[in-house]
Amino acid sequence: MAMTRRQLLAALGAAAIIPAGVWRLLPSARAAGEFPLELSEAEWRKRLTPREYEVLREEDTEAPGSSELLHEKRAGVYTCAGCDQPVFRSETKFDSGTGWPSFYAPIDGAIGTREDRRLLVMVRTEVHCSRCGGHLGHVFEDGPEPTGLRYCLNGVALDFVPAGEAPA
């Protein structure tokens, strides 16, 4: 059975996170004063679980297929797990086959992007929350219409709020 392009990218992504935690050795690209919500490292550690801290603040990547949000099908809004800002709507979610929750469009103004050169084999575009700067994942140009984009996100960096419930 031949491997699809997405399966190959997912495998490369999975290989990039081994050994786990290697990204913590590299400095974050975030600059102080860059985001509306700024907390100290101690405040972030108190606010987040250890795994959320590794992904959102140290830009780690969760293992493919590990997020419960991968299979979330209800209508609602996905929020940043760091600051509760709504970042993606359920109607833009799709099954990318990569093992990470994927969306084709963010909520206007909810995310920011920057070039990520931490992988030696490719340049990626990192996606972060526009309010707190939390690392959400990456965006690729192989998604479905209408945008042609695939926002490939870490489920641990997101919370899901079902339709009819207000985000915290």
Q: How many domains does the chain fold into?
A: 1
Given a cut of 70, whether residue 10 has pLDDT beyond it is no
Q: Report if residue 83 sits inside a domain.
A: yes
Per-residue pLDDT at 13 = 54
Selection from 87, 84, 85, 94 nearest residue 144 by Cα: 94
Select which of 80, 83, 132, 152 is catalytic. Answer: 152
Tokens 């992904």 label which residue?
A: 55
Q: Report if residue 25 sits inside a domain.
A: no
- The 10 Å Cβ neighbour count of residue 108 is 6
Read off the tokens for 130: 């526009």
Instruction: Indicate the length of the chain as a whole number.
Output: 168
Given a cut of 60, whether residue 23 has pLDDT beyond it is no
Range of the domain at 154: 5-18+37-162
Q: Report if residue 155 sits inside a domain.
A: yes
Per-residue pLDDT at 115 = 83
The whole-angstrom separation of Cα 87 and Cα 110 is 5
163 φ/ψ angles, rounded to the nearest 5 degrees: -55, 140
Q: Report if residue 167 sits inside a domain.
A: no
The end-to-end CA distance of the chain, in Å, is: 45
152 φ/ψ angles, rounded to the nearest 5 degrees: -100, 110
The domain spanning residue 62 has which CATH number? Answer: 2.170.150.20
Q: Report if residue 157 sits inside a domain.
A: yes
pTM of the model: 0.80
Given a cut of 60, whether residue 8 has pLDDT beyond it is no
152 annotated active-site:
yes
- The answer to which of 21-35, 71-85, 89-103, 107-121 has the lowest mean pLDDT is 21-35
Q: Report if residue 32 sits inside a domain.
A: no
Q: Report if residue 114 sits inside a domain.
A: yes
